[in-house]
Structure 1
Amino acid sequence: MHIEKNVCDSIIGTLLEIPGKNKDGIAARLDLLNMGVKTDLQPKYGERRTRLPPGPWNLSRAEKREVCNSFYGMKVPEGYSSNIKNLVSLQDSRLLGLKSHDCHTLMQQLLPVAIRSVLEKPARYAITRLCFFFNAICAKTVDVSKLDKLEEDVVVTLCLLEKYFPPSFFDIMVHLVVHLVREVHLCGPVYFRWMYPFERYMKVLKGYVQNRTRPEGCIAERYIAEEAVEFCTQHLSDVSTVGVPSSQKMGVSKPLSGCTNMEEVLPYIEQHMIHIKTAYPKFRKSTKWLQDKHNSTFIQWLRFKVQSELEEDNHGVSENLRWLAAGPNMAVPLYRSYLIKGIKFNIKAQDDVRTTQNSGVYLLAHTMQVASAKDKNPILSNMGFYGVIQEIWDLDYQKFTIPVFRCDWIDSSGLVVDELGFTLVDLSKIGHRNDQFVLASQVKQIFFVDDPMHRGWSVVLSMPNREYNDVIGAEVLGDVIIECEPFTRGMPNVDTFDELVGGLGGQNIRGFGQKTISAKNTGSRL
């Protein structure tokens, strides 16, 4: 984690020319002259001052301002990192006060987005490759068979950086990057060995200190008092645990969820499809018509089917299925925020007045894809949907409640993937308006960052996989792991790096202006 911080400081300090962290200067240029490389970058001595010609790593004043504005406008989910806006100084175009975890999030995901529209393409891609390496090395699951290839790639990445950065950039910390893969071979995944959880808990302990002359006594007394109070809250009703804040209109998912296990409903879905094919033999081969008919009539058929089975003596209808078939209460409460497995979701209106972004969701659904309205051969396959939560409903089935999100889903025409694997969406292109609802348990939280290269488009970034064992009050130790799934962005292949640098025309993005296959909503998300 300290190697990652120092490398991040060197890159940002050199790009933004931050005093004390900038690896460029007169001495670095003289080193180039003595080595006989890049002699066109040697210092130009004048009568009053010495001028340094711009190198591949230098940003213009407008580009520095653009990078800082990109960081300044980033809103990340709650608990993802500190507020990036507080780290940016727009007056002198710098990033100030970066902590180790701030550098971690920058190198993992945010820095490649901020520099998308600046620098020459070879230098920009070399930095992006290094960020992808840190993303891969910090993954929670590591494929041992790919570690050798990963080590080869990072060596080539550092060689590419040597082509575009001054020799002074490559200090011992940049060199130690080469040995990180070997450490994974010997010690296992990185997140078992880094210090983020302990540094976070040290901040909690330092907050206990009230008397600076006796810090140890303050920590011990406060810790014992909290343990005693928390033990008492377990035996009292309607009492909140110490340290867990409660906000207005915050819903919390309950351990019992009626639709987390759909095995009880699947047999009825198959029976209903057989019933439709029998009742309408002319449409047996029309997959799309059968699916539409199933979506519009299944709930009424299920209610009648379950009622008829309940009237029999030896029925096998479970209690959960009986309440599902009866339908929810028509009085539906709405929430601005909802907590599910330790992850907080907000509606878009709530995010607009906050410094965090918790309204983005991603859904991988098995749905029907058609090329056009006249397509008679639809394809059933998995497809990803990106959306923004507009409303949070809590459906009451008497015995349990099920949270449901009403989302604005991005139309397929507003979704592209660039040559480096970044997913770009146009949030203004809303589609799938006839199927806006999704179960809260089926989505993954994501967030959107404005693309500085293409105005009006946003880059999709994913949230860490926290894997809470308990819904409320779980201790978070590994929540700083940045997972790419399902947005896998492997490093660009070394063999095709020169092609990416020279053959893609700079700012072009594959997919803009092209027609793509659209997915007609089939209701399969519910």
Structure 2
Amino acid sequence: MVHLAIHLPKEARLRGPVHYGWMYPVERRLLTLKRYVRNNARPEGSIAEAYIVDECLTFCSRYFGNVETRFNRPSRNPERDDSHIGDLSVFKHGVKFIGASQYVYAGEDYDNMVWYVLRSCPEVDPYIDLCKQELNQRGGQINVDRWLAKNFARWFQTHIGKMRNDVCPDLYALACKPDFRVRLYSACVVDSVRYHTVDREKNRKTQNSGIVSEGDHDGNSIDFFGQLKSIIRLQYNSSSGVHRSVVLFWCDWFDLGGRKPGLDDDGHFKSVNTAKFWYKNDPFLLTSQATKVFYVPDTKLKGKWQVVQKFHHRHLWSVKENEQGPGVAVLSYQDEDSSQVPVQEKEGTARSRTRSDQECVLLEKVIVDKLKKRSKEVVPEEIEEVDETMYQYCTDDDDDGGNRTRNRPVSEEDE
């Protein structure tokens, strides 16, 4: 046992969280196989028969279009919803909301939400550059960033209103600003990933409120760790059956700076201090910019320190494509270079299958056909003779001494 304790810390670092190495999945599978047993005298046969039946039913169920099976039934966390159609990226959020909503006024945070949506939309970037050029031409000491945060939404609405007939309906709806009344939700599903607010999961053992997003801090790109506080839906002008809306996450960002850094990275685990917050004036985040994480109590630093655990979602893959010229793509998992197996880059000449080490014998076609025909002839099997020399022994229970007699089949000679 002493030797085992030496290797446990190393194994824990290599494996990571305990759920990547426990035996629960194996035990659940063994329980399923155990339930297959119907004949205790032949457990292996029962398991084999039930497994074959299960495989057959699984194969047949893939062809049942009108029957709900585990392959075609809707997922608990559905995929992206395409009902929100629009030309702008901010309208294509595809969020499915869970539970009831609260209809409230945005209040003082209305301008901040509108400005964040505008500067997060790639289609608005050319207009932001145009506005900056106008500010530079005016001259004077103007704080461009502060002026844009307060007045760009009004300038953008006036500028798009002058060229209404030349812009798409989605861009015009974005310039008209959203409704002052917003809807607040406590849970939603984004691209098959479930998110809950902190208040919703207070009395729950599950955790779905951890969020990480990449951003700039003092000119450096860092990861911002936080918790989801609220889910806000902004409603824009809708027309022609198109419902335009933008979904924002209101997050509380953990303070990673200061004299005492709120981030501890030992090369294996990252821990954050959840006691302090920063960027309280910039709490908003688009759903496409958020990534879900989990926070696990840090047993080393203790207190308010939490270990950040990133993970890969089930049934979700991010496959990169490397384009080589127009219309040519190479799969990312296919390695062009290999250090173990030699790869032939250029096709060589085809090798002939004719042996050159022995002299060949030429045969006529008639002889070859006869050999083929002879090989196809079926050789009659020999009929096994019945062995009639078997004797049957029996015991007579008569009163005449109980003599044993040996009976045998009567032959023609005996007759």
TM-score (norm 1): 0.42
Q: Which SS does the other structure have where 1:281 is aligned?
A: coil
Match of 2:126 in 1: 267
2: CA distance, partners of 1:202 / 1:223? 20
**Shift in alpha-carbon separation, 1:217–1:436, aligned structure 2, 3 A:** same
Displacement of 1:441 after TM fit?
0.5
| Contact 1:258–1:402 under 8 Å retained in 2 | no
Letter in 1 for 2:197: I
Decide which moves more: 432-441 or 257-266: 257-266
Do residues 228 (structure 1) and 64 (structure 2) align?
Answer: yes
Match of 1:392 in 2: 231
| Contact 2:263–2:273 under 8 Å retained in 1 | no
Q: Which SS does the other structure have where 2:182 is aligned?
A: coil
| Contact 1:208–1:222 under 8 Å retained in 2 | no
Displacement of 1:244 after TM fit?
2.8
Q: Alignment partner for residue 75 of structure 2, among 244, 253, 268? A: 244
Match of 1:165 in 2: none
Letter in 1 for 2:159: K
Displacement of 1:346 after TM fit?
1.2
Match of 1:458 in 2: 306
2: CA distance, partners of 1:251 / 1:346? 17
| Contact 1:209–1:218 under 8 Å retained in 2 | no
Displacement of 1:306 after TM fit?
1.1
**Shift in alpha-carbon separation, 1:200–1:258, aligned structure 2, 3 A:** farther
2: CA distance, partners of 1:201 / 1:270? 59
**Shift in alpha-carbon separation, 1:325–1:457, aligned structure 2, 3 A:** same
2: CA distance, partners of 1:302 / 1:208? 66
**Shift in alpha-carbon separation, 1:426–1:253, aligned structure 2, 3 A:** farther
Q: Deviations over 1:452-490 (max 9, x none)?
A: 1222211112121557379xxxxxxxxxxxxxxxxxxxx
2: CA distance, partners of 1:439 / 1:319? 22
Q: Which SS does the other structure have where 1:298 is aligned?
A: helix
Match of 1:170 in 2: none
**Shift in alpha-carbon separation, 1:208–1:243, aligned structure 2, 3 A:** farther
- The structure with the larger Rg is 2
Letter in 2 for 1:409: W
**Shift in alpha-carbon separation, 1:421–1:57, aligned structure 2, 3 A:** closer
Do residues 444 (structure 1) and 291 (structure 2) align?
Answer: yes
**Shift in alpha-carbon separation, 1:222–1:243, aligned structure 2, 3 A:** farther
Match of 1:321 in 2: 171
Please state which structure has a larger fraction of its residues in helix.
1
| Contact 1:253–1:338 under 8 Å retained in 2 | no
**Shift in alpha-carbon separation, 1:253–1:350, aligned structure 2, 3 A:** farther
**Shift in alpha-carbon separation, 1:395–1:207, aligned structure 2, 3 A:** farther
Letter in 1 for 2:152: F
TM alignment of 1:32-47, pairs within 5 A: none
Match of 1:406 in 2: 250
TM-score (norm 2): 0.52
2: CA distance, partners of 1:443 / 1:467? 18
Structure 2 spans left out of the alignment, 5+ residues: 40-45, 93-119, 319-415
Q: Deviations over 1:422-469 (max 9, x none)?
A: 332221212221111110110111111111122221111212155737
TM alignment of 1:182-193, pairs within 5 A: none
TM alignment of 1:256-335, pairs within 5 A: 256=85, 258-259=89-90, 262-279=121-138, 281-283=140-142, 289-310=143-164, 315=166, 317-335=167-185
Q: Deviations over 1:111-160 (max 9, x none)?
A: xxxxxxxxxxxx85x5566448xxxxx9xxxxxxxxxxxxxxxxxxxxxx
**Shift in alpha-carbon separation, 1:335–1:203, aligned structure 2, 3 A:** farther
Displacement of 1:294 after TM fit?
1.3
2: CA distance, partners of 1:449 / 1:320? 42
**Shift in alpha-carbon separation, 1:306–1:366, aligned structure 2, 3 A:** farther
Q: Which SS does the other structure have where 2:199 is aligned?
A: helix
Do residues 57 (structure 1) and 6 (structure 2) align?
Answer: yes
Structure 1 spans left out of the alignment, 5+ residues: 1-13, 16-22, 25-55, 59-122, 133-137, 139-195, 234-239, 284-288, 370-379, 471-526
**Shift in alpha-carbon separation, 1:228–1:417, aligned structure 2, 3 A:** same
Q: Alignment partner for residue 381 of structure 1, among 207, 220, 233? A: 220
- Of structures 1 and 2, the one with the larger relative CO (CA 8 A, separation 6+) is 1
| Contact 1:276–1:294 under 8 Å retained in 2 | no
1: CA distance, partners of 2:123 / 2:154? 17
Q: Which SS does the other structure have where 2:233 is aligned?
A: strand
Q: Deviations over 1:26-70 (max 9, x none)?
A: xxxxxxxxxxxxxxxxxxxxxxxxxxxxxx739xxxxxxxxxxxx
Please state which structure has a larger fraction of its residues in strand.
2
2: CA distance, partners of 1:301 / 1:203? 66
1: CA distance, partners of 2:178 / 2:27? 43
What root-mean-square deviation, in Å, do the aligned CA atoms of Structure 1 and Structure 2 show? 4.4
Q: Percent of aligned positions with the same letter in both sequences?
A: 19
Letter in 1 for 2:248: V
Q: Alignment partner for residue 433 of structure 1, among 271, 280, 283? A: 280
Q: Which SS does the other structure have where 1:264 is aligned?
A: helix
Displacement of 1:340 after TM fit?
1.3
**Shift in alpha-carbon separation, 1:220–1:420, aligned structure 2, 3 A:** same
Displacement of 1:263 after TM fit?
3.1
**Shift in alpha-carbon separation, 1:299–1:268, aligned structure 2, 3 A:** same
1: CA distance, partners of 2:223 / 2:122? 23
Displacement of 1:359 after TM fit?
0.6
1: CA distance, partners of 2:215 / 2:137? 27
**Shift in alpha-carbon separation, 1:246–1:340, aligned structure 2, 3 A:** closer
**Shift in alpha-carbon separation, 1:242–1:447, aligned structure 2, 3 A:** same
Letter in 2 for 1:366: D
Match of 2:202 in 1: 352
| Contact 1:386–1:409 under 8 Å retained in 2 | yes
| Contact 2:228–2:249 under 8 Å retained in 1 | yes
